Chains A and B, each alone.
Chain A
């Protein structure tokens, strides 16, 4: 059988030699320069990412997208049923839930998102079957508005992938879904009236 024991004296000698090894060895002189360059690159991309989502211009643009969605609903309503319906639509928009009370985390939102998606699918199917009762102009405006809201949803989704803890983005995404559901719901009601 193979002897697997180690001579204790030799092991002690080895450990003595090991304890005398240098614990510190000077790295190449240019090593820090590359680290610093990498850090600065990292900082720049991080700053750019933060700037993108905290930039007031972006936030204002996102808000405009949402307003555009609401305005489109109003415009459709005016075309279809006149000022009385428009006033009613404005009331509904005013009564929409405050975004500050929306989901506080991405995990919470993911649960809510499935409800939004189900509602969107149901309403889209209903609208598809009843679109003959709407004018081509109304359908075109509806599609344009949906496209704008979908772009906002996609933007917010992509941003959340990079920054999942950003509550503003979560609320913005929730608000975009609300707008989409609201738009589809009111258009479906118009088609049925």
Chain B
């Protein structure tokens, strides 16, 4: 997969590719009734954003990110009946992704080893370049190299747009800790990117 084809840059709302909110609800409803084909359409719509989140949470490790994303969608299928539509489906999926990542982290201590070392750029091919390729790759590499807590806070807050409170609740830590991790992430990223 080339870098160019890997990029599916999205600046539009998640569900806009379907023919409106009604279609989205219909697909979810069909999937809730056991329609796997409808679930595949949901996957096609959301997998890019979920994979981007997983890739960043997993420090750029494509294998781990793919496994995490697959876990997220299998969990989503099993728990579709619990989705009542109170929140956006994309937010619900993102929460599943974070929960899955946290559970995996608890059960797989080896994940620490997946954090990329400074010189290792072999794993970051999935991060596609945009208008300024060097900047993007440098930034993705720097994010991947952040300590896990700082990286999680940064990805969820600055990239995914979660509020401090939401992140604290999801991670089971204090809001102050989230802010401190975020501050640390900013500081480390600025240092890493200071050219």
Which positions in A face B, CB cutoff 8 Å?
A: 4, 6-7, 10-11, 14-15, 17-18, 20-29, 31-32, 34-36, 38-40, 42-43
Contacts and interface: CB of A to CB of B under 8 A. Distances in A.
A36 B183 contact: no
A31 B68 CA distance: 11
B88 to A, nearest CB: 14
Interface in B126-179: 126-128, 130-132, 135-136, 139-140, 158-159
Please name the 3 residue pairs, one residue from A and one from B, whose CB atoms are nearest each other, closest first: A24-B48, A27-B51, A24-B10
Interface of B: 1, 5-11, 34, 36, 39-40, 43-44, 47-52, 55, 62, 66, 69-70, 73-74, 77-78, 126-128, 130-132, 135-136, 139-140, 158-159, 183, 186-187, 189-190, 193-194
B130 A31 contact: no
Contacts of A7: 190
B190 A28 contact: no
Contacts, number: 109
Contacts of B8: 22, 24-26
B43 A35 contact: yes
A15 B190 CA distance: 10
Contact of A18 (B39, B52, B69, B159): B159
Contacts of B55: 25
Main secondary structure of the interface of B (DSSP, over half): helix
Given A17-B139, A20-B136, A35-B43, A25 B159 contact: no
A35 B62 contact: no
Contacts of B70: 31, 34-35, 38
A24 B51 CA distance: 7
A94 B107 CA distance: 55
B1 A28 contact: yes
Contact of B49 (A4, A14, A18, A23): A23
Contacts of B132: 20
8 contacts: A6-B186, A10-B190, A22-B130, A23-B10, A24-B49, A25-B51, A26-B48, A34-B70
Contacts of B36: 36, 39-40, 43
Nearest to B65: A27
